[in-house]
Chains A and B, each alone.
Chain A
Amino acid sequence: MFGKPPPVQNCEIANMSVVETVGQATVDGLAYLGDLTILTGRSLHAVTVAPFQGQRLRGQRAVHQAMSAGVGAVPILSLISFFVGVIMALQSAYELQKLGAIALVARTVAISVTRELAPLITAIVVIGRSGSAFAAEIGSMKVNEEIDALETMALDPVQFLVAPKLVAMALMLPCLTTWADFMGILGGATFGVGAAGFTLGSYLEATLHSLVLRDIITGLIKSVMFGMVITAVGCQEGLSTGLGAEQVGRSTTSAVVKSIFMVVAVDLVFTMLFYFTTSQ
């Protein structure tokens, strides 16, 4: 009489659990997006509105951040972009030569690098160098009560710490992306000149003919968004660090993982936006 409950009930319980888990994850994800939006909004307010209300614009701190996050990333970004350019040329040449269209290598490299690879590779390099550093720096300050000290000195941590980083990253990411465009094309040219019968002049001419300004602009618009996303995630993770040095490590790891996910998600949204607005 009191045997095992019918399997259908177990399924219902299991389904409820899955629904609850997915629902909770969705709510948490939306709440996190809300936190990022608020942090970005407060930072933008600090650099656009607050200076007209008598508050200081911390230009020097922004320049310092720009030097560290931007100029400091140039050597490693140059190398990676160059290699990606060569790899892209090799991969496209592999298929194109079967079709007897190896001359299209320059075009393929130019479009893929400027529209997609340079902004994405730049963002990933900057996440590794600066996004993680933001989380670690602010997380350590949280653990050492330095954030509390700022508040008790009537200094807003967002205005003091986050806003200069946001300005620096929003300005430096497009600059780095432009440099990565150049280095990627140079990588493609190295292959083109060495193995595809181009001269340096003819390769660059083919590149210039295949590119339109829109290709570069869309990449740069995306890079500005990536800069803001990386700053917001790195700083948010730092500000939400718990107690203890171990938590700083967790925040740093979390900042890198979440930044990569967010950058790819933003990339998808903007690429879709650009696709549907130009194809109509």
Chain B
Amino acid sequence: MRPRVRRDESERQASGALAISVRNLRVDYGEHEVLHNISFDVKAGETITILGGSGSGKTTLLRSLIGLEKPSTGAIWIRGHDLCCIPPRDMAEMRKKFGVSFQGGALFGSMTVGENVALPLREHTRLDDSTIEVLVRLKLEEVGLSGYEDYNPAQLSGGMKKRAAIARALTMDPEILFFDEPSAGLDPIIAAGIDDLILKLKHAFAMTIVVVTHELASAFLIADRMVLIDKGNIIAIGTPEEMKANQHPRVRQFLDRVPDAEISTDEGFLDRLTQNLRL
């Protein structure tokens, strides 16, 4: 039966309607199961946000989608390729069509901002230096960082680092752009600027965008659809409106920012603190 399922998935992927398909994904760290039976689709040109609390498994899901974590079971289809079975050379070719913006930026500290942005072009194309220089300026202009080519990453603020990382992610004109916590650790004004940048990219280039975040305002602003993960399980998928109307207790708790019941009262908090002493 499994080959038939795979062929169906391949046909759907090949039709171009889906950019990403995740089926029955399970990821383990040692004996600890982090993601349980995750399944969802991302349509081409869609912006999807993966929401969840700390330790919910959303970053592990993102790392699985970009091929940095190997699933224990299940399948991830990206642009018609099953990540578990793809030969390394094809994986490298596919990754050239990815753009990934990491939580801390992950800019190379030994290179200038311009060299960081130019790196994929220098490594994967035969463009001459002057063309690369023009493209780097263009990418930095797109993220509002023109003139910062010769700065070292250490000289940039948190928001500027994220913008520079986005510029590097955009260098190869990716078909799918992944963001890990794009507005984490930024003040509200800078975070709003990053949201605005993601929206501009979405409208200007019609690329598929996957954003992992726990910032509710940001997620509702940029998403076409949202996936909410709790303790390694998907508990809700839908448009922002459908999410707001969802009455699942954990969805409501997350969206209404309600703490867990055991520590919602002073007695509960003290009870948990003294629990170990009584044993």
The residues of A with any CB-CB pair to B shorter than 8 Å are 56, 137, 140-141, 144-146, 148-149, 151-155
Determine how close the nearest CB of chain B comes to the CB of A18; give it in whole angstroms.
27
* Other-chain residue from A56, A137, A140, A152 in contact with B98 (beta carbon distance below 8 A): A152
> How far apart sit A155 and B92, CA to CA, in the bound complex (Å)?
8
> How far apart sit A226 and B235, CA to CA, in the bound complex (Å)?
55
Residues on A with beta carbons closer than 8 Å to the beta carbon of B107? 146
**Complex contact A152–B95 (CB within 8 A):** yes
Q: Is B108 part of the contact surface with A, judged by Cβ < 8 Å?
A: yes
Of B25-33, B117-125, B238-246, B262-270, the segment with at least 4 beta carbons within 8 Å of chain A is B117-125
Residues on B with beta carbons closer than 8 Å to the beta carbon of A137? 110
Instruction: Mark B164-198 against chain A: 1 for CB-CB distance below 8 A, else 0.
Output: 00000000000000000000000000000000000
Residues on B with beta carbons closer than 8 Å to the beta carbon of A56? 123
> How far apart sit A140 and B110, CA to CA, in the bound complex (Å)?
11
User: With A145-B103, A148-B68, A148-B102 known to touch, is A153 a contact of B123 (CB < 8 Å)?
Assistant: yes
Residues on A with beta carbons closer than 8 Å to the beta carbon of B95? 151-154
User: With A56-B123, A153-B120, A155-B123 known to touch, is A146 a contact of B92 (CB < 8 Å)?
Assistant: no
Determine how close the nearest CB of chain A comes to the CB of B184; give it in whole angstroms.
13
Determine how close the nearest CB of chain B comes to the CB of A156; give it in whole angstroms.
8
> How far apart sit A134 and B109, CA to CA, in the bound complex (Å)?
14
Determine how close the nearest CB of chain A comes to the CB of B164; give it in whole angstroms.
12
**Complex contact A154–B102 (CB within 8 A):** no
> How far apart sit A162 and B108, CA to CA, in the bound complex (Å)?
16
Main secondary structure of the interface of A (DSSP, over half): helix
Residues on B with beta carbons closer than 8 Å to the beta carbon of A149? 100, 102, 106, 108
**Complex contact B106–A146 (CB within 8 A):** yes
User: With A56-B123, A148-B68 known to touch, is A154 a contact of B106 (CB < 8 Å)?
Assistant: no
Q: Is B104 part of the contact surface with A, judged by Cβ < 8 Å?
A: yes
Tally of B interface residues using CB under 8 Å: 23
Task: Report the nearest A residue to B120, measured CB to CB.
Answer: A153
> How far apart sit A54 and B119, CA to CA, in the bound complex (Å)?
18
**Complex contact A153–B119 (CB within 8 A):** yes
> How far apart sit A137 and B100, CA to CA, in the bound complex (Å)?
22
> How far apart sit A152 and B210, CA to CA, in the bound complex (Å)?
15
> How far apart sit A162 and B33, CA to CA, in the bound complex (Å)?
33
Residues on B with beta carbons closer than 8 Å to the beta carbon of A144? 104, 106, 109
The residues of B with any CB-CB pair to A shorter than 8 Å are 63, 66-68, 91-93, 95-96, 98, 100, 102-104, 106-110, 119-120, 123-124
> How far apart sit A265 and B122, CA to CA, in the bound complex (Å)?
41
Residues on B with beta carbons closer than 8 Å to the beta carbon of A153? 95-96, 119-120, 123
**Complex contact B102–A145 (CB within 8 A):** yes
Determine how close the nearest CB of chain B comes to the CB of A52; give it in whole angstroms.
15
Determine how close the nearest CB of chain B comes to the CB of A92; give it in whole angstroms.
46
List 4 other contacts, CB 8 Å, given A56-B123, A148-B106.
A145-B102, A153-B95, A154-B91, A154-B92
* Other-chain residue from B96, B106, B120, B124 in contact with A145 (beta carbon distance below 8 A): B106
Residues on A with beta carbons closer than 8 Å to the beta carbon of B108? 141, 146, 149
Residues on B with beta carbons closer than 8 Å to the beta carbon of A140? 109
> How far apart sit A148 and B169, CA to CA, in the bound complex (Å)?
13
Considering residues B95, B120, B123, which has the most beta carbons from chain A within 10 angstroms of its beta carbon?
Answer: B123
Task: Report the nearest B residue to A55, measured CB to CB.
Answer: B123
Residues on B with beta carbons closer than 8 Å to the beta carbon of A141? 108
* Other-chain residue from B63, B96, B104 in contact with A154 (beta carbon distance below 8 A): B96
> How far apart sit A155 and B106, CA to CA, in the bound complex (Å)?
14
> How far apart sit A146 and B165, CA to CA, in the bound complex (Å)?
11
> How far apart sit A7 and B96, CA to CA, in the bound complex (Å)?
66
Residues on A with beta carbons closer than 8 Å to the beta carbon of B104? 144-145
Task: Report the nearest A residue to B93, measured CB to CB.
Answer: A154
> How far apart sit A56 and B119, CA to CA, in the bound complex (Å)?
13
29 A-B pairs within 8 Å (CB atoms) are namely: A56-B123, A137-B110, A140-B109, A144-B104, A144-B109, A145-B103, A146-B108, A146-B109, A148-B63, A148-B68, A148-B102, A149-B100, A149-B102, A149-B106, A149-B108, A151-B68, A151-B95, A152-B66, A152-B67, A152-B68, A152-B95, A152-B98, A152-B100, A153-B95, A153-B96, A154-B91, A154-B120, A154-B123, A155-B119
Determine how close the nearest CB of chain B comes to the CB of A213; give it in whole angstroms.
41
Determine how close the nearest CB of chain A comes to the CB of B121; give it in whole angstroms.
10
> How far apart sit A145 and B67, CA to CA, in the bound complex (Å)?
14
Determine how close the nearest CB of chain A comes to the CB of B65; give it in whole angstroms.
11
Determine how close the nearest CB of chain A comes to the CB of B177; give it in whole angstroms.
11
> How far apart sit A151 and B91, CA to CA, in the bound complex (Å)?
10
**Complex contact B100–A154 (CB within 8 A):** no
**Complex contact A154–B109 (CB within 8 A):** no
Residues on B with beta carbons closer than 8 Å to the beta carbon of A145? 102-104, 106
> How far apart sit A155 and B119, CA to CA, in the bound complex (Å)?
10
Residues on A with beta carbons closer than 8 Å to the beta carbon of B67? 151-152
Residues on A with beta carbons closer than 8 Å to the beta carbon of B110? 137
Considering residues A144, A146, A153, which has the most beta carbons from chain B within 10 angstroms of its beta carbon?
Answer: A153
> How far apart sit A56 and B91, CA to CA, in the bound complex (Å)?
18
> How far apart sit A153 and B121, CA to CA, in the bound complex (Å)?
10
Task: Report the nearest A residue to B92, measured CB to CB.
Answer: A154
